[in-house]
Amino acid sequence: MLAILLPPSEGKAVGGALPGWDPADGRFGDVLASRRRRVARALKVAKGGDQKLLGVGGETLERAQQANRHLIGAPVLPASERFTGVVWDHLGLETLPAADREMADDAVLVVSALCGLIALSDPVPDHRLKLSVSIGALGRVSTFWRPTLTKVLNDHLEGRFVIDLLPGEHAAAWIPDPSRYDLRRVRLVDRDGRSAGHFAKAAKGRLARSLLQSKDPARALARWKDDEFTLTVES
């Protein structure tokens, strides 16, 4: 079975439906609820976060602060609809054939500063928070999540073919155990051999889409090409 690890988008769709967000909801809610509540509480105590914490200003900051102060019970959208960034635009979940979308619902997992770990069908509130920042008594968010996410992810990934497309700040939130699954840590580099970072987001989305549509993901990964970036794979 395939698993693809992706980051969430910083930008998120507005709105959602009620009943609102319960940290115990979703595929991993039963084991992550208490930690999700602690993150939500820390954001409320921080009054939603300031410009330094959230990394934005103006109307975007005001929207993020409002959302972050009222997370419990906030309107929700499925993760597949909430995330709107470049990776997700090029993944194009809404245009996948039904069988590939079913595969995506099982395979795609999102490492999140608020929720820890998210499946595509999980209800997610509007929010803004990075794993690389420190917040109140929680300290650095990635460090706060690491012990729990390491256990939950390693248990869930048992026996799978795992494609890790996480940036550094998200990768820091867990410690893989490749003895339990077939792990491929994928990085994209530019023509000068430097990590492509932000500029490779579209390529990551295209790669994830290609893997979901392939009957042989390992072969598809080995053969995948991009016009701008070179794929490097670490086992």
Residues of the chain with pLDDT > 90: what percent?
Answer: 86
- At 181, the amino acid letter reads Y
Q: Helix H segments across the chain? A: 29-45, 51-54, 58-69, 79-82, 86-91, 98-107, 141-156, 168-171, 201-212, 217-223
Q: Is the pLDDT confidence value at 124 over 70? A: yes
Distance CA 39, CA 119 (A): 19
CA distance linking residue 176 with residue 211, whole number of Å: 21
DSSP 8-state code for residue 38: H
206-225 pLDDT per residue, tens: 999 999 999 999 999 999 98
- Taking residues 164-190, what's their average pLDDT? 94
Cβ contact 32:116 at 8 Å: yes
Q: Where are the domains of the chain?
A: 2-13+77-234
Section 164-175 average pLDDT: 95
| Model pLDDT for residues 80-117, shown as the tens digit of each residue | 999 998 999 999 999 999 999 999 999 999 999 999 99
pTM exceeds 0.75, yes or no: yes
In tens, the pLDDT along 61-86 reads 999 999 999 999 999 999 999 999 89
DSSP class per residue in 75-113: -EEEHHHHB-SHHHHHH-GGGS-HHHHHHHHHHEEEEET
